[in-house]
Structure 1
């Protein structure tokens, strides 16, 4: 049973609710606003203190529009503290570096952050990898021939926010948020620290595709290889271990062979976790594969029955 206190939303005046609607939740439609306020009540967090807020993706694309509920790391800590079972780690986050990884998209050469929290004095670990969470996206430039913008083929780190100024802090927040959700799944399910979704905002993908709920190291240990991912390409067929460098070509070939929307739905559902892992390990190729699947879905939808 949850120990989270309920936000006394009934005590909010009509003027306060209107203020939240016009400011914090100004991107929301009516249904999204109702859902956000219900989530705030359920989590016991205060929108006015920025403990919780809505984030709308693809605002101008009705078919892809989605809302995610985001919190600050302090908001997640508040929920944990109310349980009476939470204790933060007294040590600094564990940060891993690799000088060979230093680049304009990774100024410090950060690899991962590891943070522990304690529930009933038992440690729970959260891990966040730089490549999975840093807001890295395609660089765009002007095509001299057409005057239109197009990808340059390079990647860029969004330094407009805190990732450029305090990368260690941002990565550690992502790791701590994952640890807190693992420790208190009933109270924090569906709540994400804002930093966890910065890459989704930069790359225009849905939150569910950007935030991995599994520990990648554990998964790699289970499948027995750090350079391959298990996929099920055909119904009733055994799993196929596809080398990372061949995943895009192999899956693109398979998607092009699919002849029905029903089979395409099965393919995406059966491979949901492996596709998320592919995104975490090769974001650019995964995004191109996502676009290819969407194009195939449109093509199959136009095929006469």
Structure 2
């Protein structure tokens, strides 16, 4: 293994790092950042290592994550002695049906292959890293203010963050994430706990720390596994079994239900599904407001009167 570059900054240089590269860090975070930079032999002035502080104004959630730039990653990898960079371009899985403002090129995933040398045989083998667009692209929810309550709510619309390079160079950004995945897979001792900035762009948008975004992704995967990622879990009263209804179908299905069922059953359905209805409100407040009006009208309408036997006998159609 190659020797780590000598890390020897003067007091003046250390102060300059604190004032520039690490200006968002408090004292403890700055000390940790400098120790990691020293241990990895990376130069903050060259942008090889960067501190990223999440929730800067919230003491309970505040957390720093260490970012290693692409140059820094390759510096560390090259020192390992058993690393060779990719010998071919990243490969991409594309789906034209996914093309949209949220995914300009319809990218499903990117895969990068690096080379690692077997210490016993000396032979080189490929180490793959794969990243999926839906897991790393910085897609953010659109929020608006409710004029009546003054509270913010999700409009149901989403946008791809355009403050970085994801809109301009989507292939490059997802490939950077895949390369970091490969580095962690092949050289875990050197890269565990370190992140590429492209990996954290999504975290910046939704204000999650590195560990939180991993848990966030696990939760999304759990929802996808049960078909609930983009759906509302609802019961229709048939033995109170649960059904995952796609968000786009929920309004029509709910309206159909409340129009044909008696007021008492509609009221019972509403009470049993308060949380799903709140979730629908967060996703589509306009449709949710209309659904609320229809619910109230359905519950308020008089129940149909059942005709008595005498009324049936005296009905003109029943006359002998």
Deviation at 1:6, TM superposition (A): 3.7
2:182 is the counterpart of 1:179: yes
Take 1:184 and 1:113, find their aligned partners in 2: how far apart are those partners?
A: 20
What is the rounded CA distance, in whole Å, between the counterparts of 2:160 and 2:38 in structure 1? Answer: 35
* Deviation for aligned residue 1:144: 4.3
Q: Residue 206 of structure 1 aligns with which residue?
A: 209
Q: CA deviation at 1:107?
A: 1.1
For residues 148-205 of structure 1, what are the alpha-carbon distances to aligned partners after superposition, in whole Å with 9 as ceiling and x for unaligned?
A: 6432111111011100110000000000011011111111111111000100111122
Deviations 1:116-170 (A, max 9, x none): 1011011110000001000011112344445664321111110111001100000
1:244 counterpart SS class: coil
Which residue number in structure 2 is paired with residue 47 of structure 1? 44
Distance (Å, rounded) in 1 between the aligned partners of 2:15 and 2:233: 51
Q: Distance in 2 between matches of 1:158 and 1:228?
A: 22
CA–CA distance in 2 between the matches of 1:158 and 1:7? Answer: 36
For these two proteins, the number of residue pairs brought into alignment is 227
Shift in CA distance, 38/6, structure 1 to aligned 2, threshold 3 Å? farther
Structure number with bigger Rg: 2
Distance 1:33 1:7, change over 3 A: farther
Partner Cα separation in structure 2 for residue 107 and residue 138 of structure 1: 17
Judging changes above 3 Å, is the alpha-carbon distance between structure 1 residues 38 and 45 closer, same or farther for their aligned structure 2 residues? same
Q: Is contact 1:132-1:210 (8 Å) kept? A: no
User: Structure 1 residues 211 and 76 mapped into 2: Cα distance closer, same or farther (>3 Å)?
Assistant: farther
Structure 1 residue 102 displacement after superposition: 1.2
**What residue is the counterpart of 2:166 in the other structure?**
163
Give 1:1-305 correspondences, 5 Å limit.
3=1, 5-9=3-7, 11-120=8-117, 121-145=124-148, 149-211=152-214, 229=222, 243-245=226-228
Cα separation, partners in 2 of 1:149 and 1:242, compared to 1, 3 Å: closer
Within 2, Cα distance between the matches of 1:43 and 1:5? Answer: 11
Q: What residue number does 2:249 align with?
A: none
Structure 2: gaps spanning 5 or more residues? 118-123, 235-278, 283-320
Structure 1 distance, partners of 2:154, 2:65, is 28
CA deviation after TM superposition for structure 1 residue 210, in Å: 2.2
Residues 211 and 166 of structure 1: is their aligned pair in 2 closer, same or farther, counting only changes over 3 Å? Answer: farther
Question: Over aligned residues, Cα RMSD in angstroms?
Answer: 2.8
Q: Scaled by the length of structure 1, what TM-score is found? A: 0.68
